[in-house]
């Protein structure tokens, strides 16, 4: 499923983020940036120790912010580490923080001069964000940033299961 926003293509695919041949993949990290489970664990396993070594120099990352490191052994040149909100009930700033993760990651990619970036479903695993709502926020914010004008040509959402893929596809169609 894909859709063009301005000169940029946004797409949703079912797959493994760590295998993507893009300029940067985005990690759904935690504030320590020192690794964890889920997609974070998969990125560190596939990318090797260079990513953790680079993360140690970054002093963590606040929720809603983003920082970058090398991609190590990954096909992607960079990993952009962002920290999504832990979902409580939706009234504790979760939507704004989730939107900010996407905005900060895209801005960082633009500052690095990148043309392609791939996101996972940030906050949709351990952090418990209801997937349809997270998908609408993620796609809405990406659209917003791209329509402001951007050097980025491809934004790919790489979803690990059919239900998550379906939610992101639906949000792209809306
Ligand atoms: N490719 C694409 N998506 C994946 C992959 C993969 N290889 N592996 C898992 N997912 P989560 P969060 C999906 O829990 O909710 C970590 O411990 C997964 O099915 O990775 O933001 C961090 O260190 C789900 O749909 O991230 C933090 O402590 C989505 O990625 C915490 O988890 C996100 O799930 C962050 O939690």
Strands 8-14 and 154-159: parallel
Domain residue ranges in the chain: 2-173
Look up the CATH architecture of domain 2-173.
3-Layer(aba) Sandwich (3.40)
State residue 150's pLDDT score.
Answer: 87
State residue 14's pLDDT score.
Answer: 98
Residue 27 Cβ inside 6 Å of ligand 1? The answer reads no
Other residues' Cβ atoms within 10 Å of the Cβ of residue 56: 13
Binned at pLDDT 50, 70 and 90, residue 149 comes out as confident
- According to DSSP, residue 46 is labeled H
pLDDT at 134 over 90: yes
Residue 90 Cβ inside 6 Å of ligand 1? The answer reads no
Catalytic residue among 40, 65, 89, 166: 40
Binned at pLDDT 50, 70 and 90, residue 75 comes out as very high
Residue identifier of the C-alpha nearest atom 33 of ligand 1:
125
4-34 residue pLDDT tens: 998 899 999 999 999 999 999 999 999 999 9
Between these two residues, 6 and 67, which has the higher pLDDT value? 67
State residue 33's pLDDT score.
Answer: 98
What is the Å distance from ligand 1's center to 14 Cα? 14
Q: How far is 125 from 64, CA to CA, in rounded Å?
A: 16
The fraction of the chain above a pLDDT of 70, given in percent, is: 100
State residue 6's pLDDT score.
Answer: 87
Asked if 40 is an active-site residue, the reply is: yes
What is the Å distance from ligand 1's center to 123 Cα? 7
CA atoms within 13 A on the CB side of 137: 24
């Amino acid at each position: 499923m894909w859709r063009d926003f301005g000169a940029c293509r946004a797409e949703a695919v079912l797959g493994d983020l760590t295998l993507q041949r893009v300029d940067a993949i985005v990690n759904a990290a935690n504030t320590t940036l020192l690794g964890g489970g889920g997609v974070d664990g998969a990125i560190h396993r596939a990318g090797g120790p260079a990513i953790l070594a680079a993360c140690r120099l970054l002093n963590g990352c606040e929720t809603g912010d983003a920082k970058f490191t090398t991609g190590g052994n990954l096909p992607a040149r960079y990993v952009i580490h962002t920290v999504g909100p832990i979902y409580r009930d939706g009234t504790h700033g979760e939507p704004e923080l989730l939107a900010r993760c996407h905005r900060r990651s895209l801005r960082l990619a633009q500052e690095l001069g990148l043309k392609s970036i791939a996101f996972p479903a940030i906050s949709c695993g351990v952090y418990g964000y209801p997937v349809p709502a997270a998908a609408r926020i993620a796609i809405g914010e990406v659209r917003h940033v791209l329509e402001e004008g951007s050097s980025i040509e491809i934004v790919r959402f790489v979803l690990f299961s059919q239900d998550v893929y379906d939610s992101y596809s639906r949000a792209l169609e809306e």
